[in-house]
């Protein structure tokens, strides 16, 4: 089955058709800069432009930066607060003229890695983390998703973890890889104490630089980079729209 997967990020909205039986992205992804302020109308219009680029008229899956319950956005951390309470399934369906399934973006990335990537076949507790504008997290037990786990907002030293350990924080504060690794290590240690996972999977755009900081982390739990890297959200969103949660 071919479904259009779209990933809404803090800096870009990108998408591509996906073969949901294999997890393969079928053509080069198309990316548009996220509208400033990430307000409802401009984001919906941008998602429609991505769909139009592929002349799409079938199901669409959208990974969205916030918890989603029955299609409704419940919280907005790195997007406009106007999204809270909006039925994103309906809004984006109207904008694109297609049936749309919206889910949390980190959940989408995790679905891809569990189905076809670094977490395939792994039993026990697996936590997927995406480091970008914020910190997205998804937790799985024996391959089953617990949706909308917002562990990027775990408090560390009186601050949300993502305020100190996201890739945006690294860039904003111009941290060296060594200093950034120290912050990440603090965060992973806290997560380890809370959940005692069997595996961490690290995604987001920064995952392609994993050799610069992963070797400096001192965590008991194995940490491996996501196989789909920054395209995991596209693949997982398509899987969700295909009903493969």
Structure confidence at residue 230 (pLDDT) = 81
Structure confidence at residue 245 (pLDDT) = 65
Structure confidence at residue 128 (pLDDT) = 96
Residues forming CATH 3.30.420.40 domain(s) in the chain: 2-105+231-241, 108-228
Q: What is the pTM of this model?
A: 0.92
Question: What is the rounded distance in angstroms from the CA atom of residue 74 to the CA atom of residue 85?
Answer: 6
Structure confidence at residue 10 (pLDDT) = 83
Among 61, 66, 72, residue whose Cα is nearest residue 6: 61
What DSSP character marks residue 235?
A: H
Among 57, 7, 55, 5, residue whose Cα is nearest residue 32: 7
Q: Which residues contact 208 (CB under 8 A, 6 or more apart)?
A: 225, 229, 230
Q: Which helix (H) or strand (E) holds 187?
A: helix 177-195
CATH number of 108-228: 3.30.420.40
Contact present, 58 and 2 (Cβ < 8 Å) = yes
Assigned fold of 2-105+231-241: Nucleotidyltransferase; domain 5 (3.30.420)
* Structure token pair of residue 84: 């809270």
The pLDDT tens digits along the chain (245 residues) read 999 999 998 889 999 999 999 999 999 999 999 999 999 999 999 999 999 999 999 999 999 999 999 999 999 878 999 999 999 999 999 999 999 999 999 999 999 999 999 999 999 999 999 998 889 999 999 999 999 998 999 998 889 999 999 999 999 999 999 999 999 999 999 999 999 999 999 998 888 899 999 999 999 999 999 999 889 999 999 999 999 76
């Amino acid at each position: 089955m071919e479904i259009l997967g779209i990933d809404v990020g803090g800096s870009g909205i990108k998408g591509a058709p996906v073969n949901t039986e294999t997890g393969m992205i079928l053509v080069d992804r198309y990316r548009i800069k996220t509208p400033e302020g990430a307000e409802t109308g401009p984001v919906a219009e941008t998602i429609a432009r991505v769909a139009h680029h592929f002349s799409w008229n079938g199901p669409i899956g959208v990974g969205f930066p916030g918890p989603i319950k029955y299609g409704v956005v419940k919280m907005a951390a790195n997007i406009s607060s106007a999204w809270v309470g909006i039925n994103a399934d309906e809004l984006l369906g109207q904008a694109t003229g297609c049936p749309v399934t919206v889910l949390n973006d980190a959940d989408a990335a995790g679905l891809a890695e569990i189905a076809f990537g670094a977490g395939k076949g792994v039993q026990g507790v697996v936590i997927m983390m995406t480091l970008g504008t914020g910190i997205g997290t998804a937790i799985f037990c024996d391959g089953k998703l617990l949706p909308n786990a917002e562990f990027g907002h775990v408090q560390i030293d009186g601050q949300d973890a993502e305020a100190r350990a996201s890739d945006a924080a690294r860039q904003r504060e111009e941290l060296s890889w060594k200093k950034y690794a120290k912050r990440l290590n603090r965060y992973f240690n806290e997560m380890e104490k809370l959940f005692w996972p069997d595996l961490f999977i690290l995604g987001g755009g920064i995952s392609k630089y994993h050799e610069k900081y992963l070797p400096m982390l001192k965590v008991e739990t194995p940490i491996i980079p996501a196989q789909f890297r920054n395209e995991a959200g596209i693949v997982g969103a398509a899987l969700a729209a295909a009903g493969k949660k």
